[in-house]
Amino acid sequence: MFFSVKKTSAILLLMALLAAVAIFASCGQSDDVAASPSDIISKSQENIIPVDVSMSDTEMTIGICTVHGISAKGGDKIVWSSSDNSIAVIDSEGQITGTGLGECDVTAENEFGKKAVCHVTVKKTAFITIDDGPLKYCGEILRKLNKLDVKATFFVVKTSNIAMVKQMHEDGHCVGLHTYSHKFSVCYRSEYSYFSDLEKLKDVIEEYTGERTNILRFPGGTSNTVMDRRGMRRMVSGLDDLGYRAFDWTASALDATGAPITYEQAAGYALGSCIHDVDIILMHDKMTTAKAIEIIVDRLSSAGYVFDTLDHYANWSYRVNTWYERSVGTEKIPCTDVSLNEMSMQMAVGEKNNLTVKMTPDDSTDYVRFVSDDPSVVSVTLEGEITGMRVGSTTIRAIASSGQEADCRVTVNYS
Answer whether residue 351 is part of any domain.
yes
Asked if 379 and 387 touch (Cβ cutoff 8 Å), the reply is yes
Domain boundary among 278, 296, 314: 296
Query: Would you say residue 329 has pLDDT above 90?
Result: no
Give the range of the structural domain holding residue 378, as residue numbers without chain letter: 330-413
* Contacts for 277 with CB less than 8 Å, ≥ 6 apart: 64, 65, 101, 124, 125, 318, 321
Mark whether 248 and 379 lie in a shared domain.
no
Q: What is the pLDDT of residues 148-207, one digit of tens each?
A: 999 999 999 999 999 999 999 999 999 999 999 888 888 888 888 888 889 999 999 999
Are 291 and 339 found together in one domain? no
Q: What CATH code is carried by the domain that includes residue 204?
A: 3.20.20.370
**Residue 36 counted as domain residue:** no
Task: Tell whether 242 is covered by a domain.
Answer: yes
Residue 9 — very low, low, confident or very high, per pLDDT cuts 50/70/90? low
3-state secondary structure of 38: helix
pLDDT digits (tens, 9 = 90+) for 14-73: 565 555 545 544 544 444 444 554 454 444 455 667 889 999 999 999 999 899 999 999
| Contact call for residues 186 and 193 (beta carbons, < 8 A) | yes
Say if residue 250 is in the same domain as residue 344: no
Taking alpha carbons only, the member of 74, 71, 113, 70 closest to residue 88 is 70
Please write the tens of the pLDDT for every residue from 119-158.
999 999 999 999 999 999 999 999 999 999 999 999 999 9
Model confidence over 226-265: pLDDT tens digits? 877 777 878 887 787 788 888 989 889 988 877 788 999 9
142 and 291 co-located in one domain:
yes
390 and 249, same domain (yes or no) = no
Question: What pLDDT was estimated at residue 382?
Answer: 63
User: Residues, the chain, total?
Assistant: 415
Q: Is residue 9 part of a domain?
A: no
Q: What is the CATH number of the domain that holds 396?
A: 2.60.40.1080
What are the pLDDT digits (tens) for 384-403? Answer: 889 998 999 999 988 876 77
Distance CA 356, CA 374 (A): 19
Confidence of residue 334 (pLDDT cuts 50, 70, 90): confident
Whether residue 284 is found in the same domain as residue 369: no
Mean pLDDT of the region 80-103: 91
What is the reported pLDDT for 86? Answer: 86
Burial zone of 192 (CB within 10 Å; 0-12 exposed, 13-18 middle, 19+ buried): exposed
Q: How many domains does the chain have?
A: 2
Judge if 286 and 339 occupy the same domain. Answer: no
Question: Strand runs (DSSP E) across 134-271, as ranges?
Answer: 153-157, 174-179, 215-216, 245-246, 251-252
Residue 117: count of CB within 10 angstroms of its CB = 15
* Same-domain status, 183 and 284: yes
* Residue 301 within any structural domain of the chain: no
Across 294-312, average pLDDT: 95
Are 268 and 409 within one domain? no
| Structure-model confidence comparison of residues 320 and 33, the more confident one | 33
Same domain membership, residue 241 and residue 347: no
Q: What band does 381 get if pLDDT is binned at 50, 70 and 90?
A: confident
Nearest Cα residue to 53 out of 96, 114, 8: 114
Residues 226 and 269 in one domain: yes
Quote the percentage of the chain above a pLDDT of 70. 83
192 & 281 share domain: yes
In a domain, residue 227? The reply is yes
